[in-house]
Amino acid sequence: MTLSQTSPARLTRTRPAPAVGIVHLGLGAFFRAHGAIYIEEAVAASGGDWGILGVSLQSPTMRDHLAPQGGTYTAMEMGPEGRKARHVQILREVLVAREDPEAVLRAMAAPEIRIVSLTVTEKGYCHEPATGRLNLNHPDIRHDLTAALPISAPGMLVRALDLRRRAGLRPFTVMTCDNLPNNGRVVRGVVLDLAHQIDPTLARWIETEGRFPATMVDRIVPATKPEDILEVAEAIGAHDAAPVMHEPFRQWVVEDDFVDGLRPDLGAVGVQLVQDVTEYEHMKLRMLNGTHSSLAYLGYLSGHETIADCMADPVLEQTVRHLWQAEIIPALTPPPGVDLHAYAAELHARYANPAIRHRTWQIAMDGSQKLPQRILGTLDTNLQAGRPCPGLTLAVAAWMVYVSGTDLDGRPIEVKDPLAPILKEAATSARPVAALLALSQVFPQDLAARLADPVARAYELLKANGARRAMETLL
Ligand code: CS2
């Protein structure tokens, strides 16, 4: 056996990246399979110094994987009919904020940086999900209020903007790419809240000069699994320690509001540049992420490992169709020219794609940060209009079972959530439904009052009959 058969060569860079113009915070699989590819294509189409410097906030793993590959990696498109590999080379360098926050701030404050984009997940904004305001009691924010070297994403943005202001530079555009409604307004709000605490003059400068376009991002990108690394090696004939596996579909809707109008030519590669992204965000968060989370809890409790497995189960498949048709679409205003029924049909096909193994457990993560914008908004609109919502109510009840840390057959669940200990205490108390609904970080309290009875009934049904029977009974 030759050496190359036992260990294929490492993936390496084959062309230089453009000079850096963007710093990206949060270098997970999603950005590498979505924004990075769009930006690489925009540079290929129209040029510009829009290379990306990636920042991992906590862990050095991504840097350690990407550095020996010159920052390049494989994006593997997984379609129902086959796969297609692409060698992405737009990322020039990776820094790790926990190791060297000063280097990250220096990079963000450099004159050539015009955009700082973010995928730091919902909890990375350190806000109260129910209100959208900065949580001043968040331990990272308490640290960042006084320390010159921040650890939170809002802290990084504020300190870097401060360096730019002091150096007489223009601010960078802050472009959030996380699944939050009004994500531009949320990040602007937390940055201004923090800046006000640190230096009101800085806050005023950011308020007048800063730009925070909202964006709607969409592509299903499950976390990379060890078997994916082997599959990619076999497909490309080289070892890539950090590939990303993604579906063919992609969509990016961006508010065209950048500091001095400076941005890559995103319009050339199919990004929709709009005045107001709100209706797109609501559509995507409620139709896609709302049913994703519902399938995650109900599917997990029905014993399903992935979304595609859920779609192959007629009970869950009918549940998700019911959610779209009877509960979510009636409570939505479509974006201009969009047919929500066609959008639902497209989502159905995307979920059923057997090549994408997206774990229910992965989507179930961080539910306390996700439920408000994905599910509770739809429930609120419907209940106020007097329309019952048995499906979404059951999904909330399933989340309540899930966060107790024990499934309906008594097996342990590994619950990942920034509020996990609080959720567990409430979910295992004598009155779990009432105790969870009382958490104002998650449930606006007027909605909690309206949810009390229906959720309690759904919860009892789940406990008594199991998830599949409960769906059959209620829907
Ligand atoms: C998913 C999203 O993990 C989750 O919570 O719902 O990551 C989803 O796959 C993306 O938003 C799709 O664009």
Q: pLDDT digit string (tens) for 424-451?
A: 999 999 999 999 999 999 999 999 999 9
- Biggest CA pair distance of the chain: 71
Cα–Cα dist 5/16, whole Å: 29
Q: Are residues 185 and 282 located together in one domain of the fold?
A: no
Query: What count of other Cβ atoms lies within 10 Å of the Cβ of residue 440?
Result: 12
> Could you please report the per-residue DSSP string of 426-459?
HHTSSSHHHHHHT-TTTS-HHHHHHHHHHHHHHH
At 169 the pLDDT is: 98
Q: With beta carbons less than 8 A apart as the criterion, state whether 391 and 322 touch.
A: yes
In the predicted structure, residue 4 carries a pLDDT above the cut 90: no
363 lines ligand 1 (CB under 6 A): yes
Q: Are residues 307 and 230 located together in one domain of the fold?
A: no
In the predicted structure, residue 365 carries a pLDDT above the cut 70: yes
Q: What radius of gyration do the chain's Cα atoms show?
A: 22
Cα–Cα dist 306/364, whole Å: 11
Nearest CA to ligand 1 atom 4: 363
At 3 the pLDDT is: 45
Q: With beta carbons less than 8 A apart as the criterion, state whether 371 and 179 touch.
A: no
179 lines ligand 1 (CB under 6 A): yes
Which atom of ligand 1 is nearest to 366's Cα? 5
The pLDDT of 135-152, averaged and rounded, is 95
Q: Are residues 35 and 164 located together in one domain of the fold?
A: yes
* DSSP structure class, residue 409: T
* 237 contact partners, CB below 8 Å, separation of at least 6: 8
Over the chain, what is the mean pLDDT? 96
Q: Residue 425 class from Cβ within 10 Å (0-12 exposed, 13-18 middle, 19+ buried)?
A: middle
- H or E element at residue 417: none
At 8 the pLDDT is: 86
The pLDDT of 378-407, averaged and rounded, is 97
Nearest CA to ligand 1 atom 1: 363
Q: Are residues 247 and 359 located together in one domain of the fold?
A: no
Cα–Cα dist 195/297, whole Å: 38
Q: How many domains does the chain have?
A: 2
How far away, in angstroms, is 57 Cα from ligand 1 center? 20
292 lines ligand 1 (CB under 6 A): yes
Q: Residue 116 class from Cβ within 10 Å (0-12 exposed, 13-18 middle, 19+ buried)?
A: buried
pLDDT-derived band of residue 5, with 50, 70 and 90 as boundaries? low
More confident residue, 132 or 340: 340
> Could you please report the per-residue DSSP string of 35-75?
HHHHHHHHHHHH--S-EEEEEESS-SHHHHHHGGGTT-EEE
Q: Are residues 262 and 338 located together in one domain of the fold?
A: no
The pLDDT of 340-357, averaged and rounded, is 98
Query: 109-113, 124-128, 397-401: which has the minimum mean pLDDT?
Result: 124-128
Q: Are residues 27 and 135 located together in one domain of the fold?
A: yes
At 301 the pLDDT is: 98
Q: pLDDT digit string (tens) for 180-199?
A: 989 999 999 999 999 999 99
pTM of the model: 0.96
How far away, in angstroms, is 239 Cα from ligand 1 center? 27
At 128 the pLDDT is: 84
Cα–Cα dist 285/170, whole Å: 33
Domain end, chosen from 240, 274, 308, is at 274
Cα–Cα dist 423/405, whole Å: 9
Domain end, chosen from 274, 306, 337, is at 274
The pLDDT of 251-278, averaged and rounded, is 98
Q: What is the CATH number of the domain that holds 65?
A: 3.40.50.720
Cα–Cα dist 282/288, whole Å: 10
Q: pLDDT digit string (tens) for 25-60?
A: 999 999 999 999 999 999 999 999 999 999 999 999
At 6 the pLDDT is: 62
Q: Are residues 41 and 183 located together in one domain of the fold?
A: yes
Q: With beta carbons less than 8 A apart as the criterion, state whether 353 and 325 touch.
A: no
Q: Are residues 102 and 190 located together in one domain of the fold?
A: yes
Estimate to the nearest angstrom the gap between the alpha carbon of 438 and the chain centroid: 26
Domain end, chosen from 251, 274, 297, is at 274
The pLDDT of 212-235, averaged and rounded, is 97
In degrees, rounded to 5, the angle at the alpha carbon of residue 27 between the alpha carbons of residues 56 and 268 is: 140
Q: Are residues 19 and 129 located together in one domain of the fold?
A: yes
Q: Which among 281, 292, 310, 416 is the best mutation to test ligand 1's pocket, defined by most ligand atoms within 8 Å of the CB?
A: 292
Sign of the Cα torsion 311, 374, 327, 255 reads: negative
Q: Are residues 36 and 61 located together in one domain of the fold?
A: yes
The pLDDT of 352-378, averaged and rounded, is 97
pLDDT-derived band of residue 2, with 50, 70 and 90 as boundaries? very low
Q: What is the CATH number of the domain that holds 465?
A: 1.10.1040.10
In the predicted structure, residue 9 carries a pLDDT above the cut 70: yes
At 370 the pLDDT is: 95
* DSSP structure class, residue 385: T
Q: Are residues 349 and 426 located together in one domain of the fold?
A: yes
Residue 304, domain extent: 278-474
Q: Are residues 352 and 466 located together in one domain of the fold?
A: yes
289 lines ligand 1 (CB under 6 A): yes
Which atom of ligand 1 is nearest to 362's Cα? 3
